[in-house]
Structure 1
Amino acid sequence: MKLFALLLSLLASCTAATTAQAATLREGWQEVDGLHLFYREAGNPADPTVVFLHGYPLSSIMYAKVMEDLVAHQRVHVIAMDYPSFGYSDAPSHDTYRYTFDHVAETVADFLKARGISRYGLYMQDYGVPVGFRLISAHPEAITAIIVQNGVIHLDGFPSAQDPNGELRRHWANRNPAVDQRRTNYSKSLTYPRAEGWEDEDHAGLDASLQMVAAVQRPGVIEARNDLWFDYGTNVSRYPVWQATLRKMKVPVLVLWGQRDQFFTTPGAKAYLRDAPQAEVHILDSTHFATLDAPDEVAEFVGGFLVRHQVALPAAK
């Protein structure tokens, strides 16, 4: 525990240094339903808002550079929070907090309400997509734009889940303790970035990788993450409903996709065109974590999209 406390202290120092260099980024904790949820925010809340929903296994850290770039070049309010057990947010035991996508989405909705956010664009990646589409389904009138990056609502881009008799689909139908144990062993085996014997295959970067390992190895977090992964099957069953919801909506849609993602593959990006023919689709020479691997390119695409569709305002001259 002393080592963990020291690690958090070092991470906080790194975050403080980043904030000092980019004064537009504000950070803090919002109390929501008895939990302290960490968030990053930039811009004037009176300007149009874009909410960033992170994926697995990272946190709002994956959006920091993109958020700073957007606010530097246009009038937009951006905010990203860490889900319970992710990043710097509280990590309640799975005995006291239900780690399901329904519950996480409820927590995010309560966070937005606590921050006074009722109308917004959504940027969603990985786990952020099923969280975000629950928000969209509940209040489609609140959504001004949809941005998806390496996250699916079609099986086209999810090869490991396409076989109804494959391991994933069988686990989601009837929880397999062996799958949980394998995931637990993997999480426990993760090491902090170092000069030798460590690889950053997805180009998440040192700071994000360090935070990810520290967060997942907190007491009880692995069990919480296993519960959430088991619940992922509820997302697959809702894909047809979410596709139908998207077809009914007339909001602008942007799809960005790191083509070197081996888990969520590029057919998933093109599948959005079936339900949103107005979507702009860009395949990037990047990874699952494109906002960390190619933040400038992502910010350029997102910034132009937001201004064209009046989801953000041009910077004052």
Structure 2
Amino acid sequence: MFRKKRHFAYLVLVPLVVFLIYAGYRVYPYYKNQPTDADLIHSFTDLSADDITLGYVEGTSRDLRYLEIGSQPDKPLLVFIHGSPSSSVFWVKMMQDSALLSRANLLAIDRPGYGGSGLGNAMTSVSEQAENVVEVIREKMSGPDQPVIIHGSSYGGTVSARIAMDFPDIVDGLLLQSASMAPNEEYVYWLSHPTSHWLIRWALPAGIRTANQEKLNHQQQLEDMVDEWDNIDASTVIIHGTDDWLIYPRNAYFACGRLTNASKLIHHMVDGGQHDLIYRTPDLIKAYLNELLDDVATGRAPDLDADDKEN
């Protein structure tokens, strides 16, 4: 009898231990991508701490953390806005690129609910996020004539587009990478609904809690943006993977059909690309950022030719 009980205990405990180890392995990165101030600065291995400015700006309803490299008033301001669940640490490699550093002042901002911007305290309104983020941009601009280019990834692309819609006088260039832009055109994890309940929510990493709350509000927020796309007049690049299973490729086509007033529009579908373009195609992204920097340097967007737009 004792042996049978022990055998049963093994049958129960071994799978449980394996599950807990696997769960810890999957969850750990979501703790790691929400660094403290010191950890965020130390993640820039190719730069000295003296080259980096980390601080906080009082937004319209939330203090937001930012990380800045370069503050030369004669250079454009290149702003990076991350997706979900992440923080400014997402942009570390991009912000250490010597070519970009030579051409622009670089600014990464923790969106509300992530990193140092009220981690775990979600702000589900995209327009409210845009209002808060744009306060940081204004604070870091050297003057009203400094060109501003915004690069948003995933749901950070959604917020970037909303900034360009609501504050077109500030945004000169826009790169929307794997961005959520069309209502009902993204994958929703079935776990998002049960894990949003308070009985389970407390046990999740704070970044996941924020991402869950945002995710369950995406549809309404994107519907509120449908009639605002023609407000965007900035030079715009849309990059999306043809095999993106999280934010479906139809998002890119949706936005392209509504960007009727963009001074320039480039639509690049990466063949076989998924949602991790920042890791798989960094050189392509940097090339388009440099093209947007060329545009603002000349003061106008060049005329499109047949090779400028890829579908």
Residue 258 (1) aligns with residue 241 (2): yes
Q: Which residue of structure 1 aligns with residue 305 of structure 2?
A: none
Q: Give the secondary structure class of the aligned counterpart of 1:143.
A: coil
CA distance in 2, matches of 1:7, 1:291: 18
CA drift of 1:291 comes to 1.9
Q: Cα gap change, 1:139/1:260 in structure 2, threshold over 3 Å: closer, same or farther?
A: same
Residue 101 (1) aligns with residue 126 (2): yes
1:50–1:123 contact (8 Å) kept in structure 2: yes
Residue 235 (1) aligns with residue 263 (2): no
Q: Cα gap change, 1:311/1:260 in structure 2, threshold over 3 Å: closer, same or farther?
A: farther
Instruction: Please point out which of 265, 268, 271 is paired with 2:254.
Output: 271
Length, aligned pairs only: 259
CA distance in 2, matches of 1:262, 1:143: 29
Instruction: Please point out which of 57, 67, 71 is paired with 1:44.
Output: 71
Q: Which residue of structure 2 aligns with residue 297 of structure 1?
A: 284
Q: Which residue of structure 1 aligns with residue 178 of structure 2?
A: 150
Deviations 1:248-304 (A, max 9, x none): x2x321111233421112232233332347411222354323223432332123223
Q: Which has the higher contact order (CA 8 A, sep 6+)?
A: 1
Q: Which residue of structure 1 aligns with residue 55 of structure 2?
A: 29
CA distance in 1, matches of 2:172, 2:109: 19
TM-score of the aligned structures, taking structure 1 as reference length: 0.66
CA drift of 1:183 comes to 11
Q: Cα gap change, 1:91/1:272 in structure 2, threshold over 3 Å: closer, same or farther?
A: closer
| Percent sequence identity over aligned pairs | 15
CA distance in 1, matches of 2:62, 2:224: 28
Q: Cα gap change, 1:181/1:240 in structure 2, threshold over 3 Å: closer, same or farther?
A: same
CA drift of 1:58 comes to 1.4
Q: Which residue of structure 2 aligns with residue 206 of structure 1?
A: none
Q: Which residue of structure 1 aligns with residue 205 of structure 2?
A: 217
Q: Give the secondary structure class of the aligned counterpart of 1:142.
A: coil
Deviates more, 1:72-81 or 1:54-63: 72-81
Q: Which residue of structure 2 aligns with residue 112 of structure 1?
A: 137
Q: Cα gap change, 1:89/1:160 in structure 2, threshold over 3 Å: closer, same or farther?
A: closer
The aligned runs of 1:115-154 (5 Å cut-off) are 115-116=140-141, 120-154=148-182
Structure 2: gaps spanning 5 or more residues: 1-27, 300-311
CA drift of 1:143 comes to 1.4
TM-score of the aligned structures, taking structure 2 as reference length: 0.67
Give the root-mean-square deviation of aligned CA atoms. 3.9
CA distance in 1, matches of 2:47, 2:87: 19
CA drift of 1:12 comes to 6.6
Deviations 1:185-227 (A, max 9, x none): 7x95xxxxxxxxxxxxxxxxxxxxxxxxxxx624xx5554443
CA distance in 2, matches of 1:91, 1:179: 17
Q: Cα gap change, 1:311/1:54 in structure 2, threshold over 3 Å: closer, same or farther?
A: farther
1:32–1:114 contact (8 Å) kept in structure 2: no
Structure 1: gaps spanning 5 or more residues: 162-166, 169-175, 189-215, 313-317
Q: Which residue of structure 2 aligns with residue 205 of structure 1?
A: none
CA drift of 1:13 comes to 6.9
1:101–1:231 contact (8 Å) kept in structure 2: no
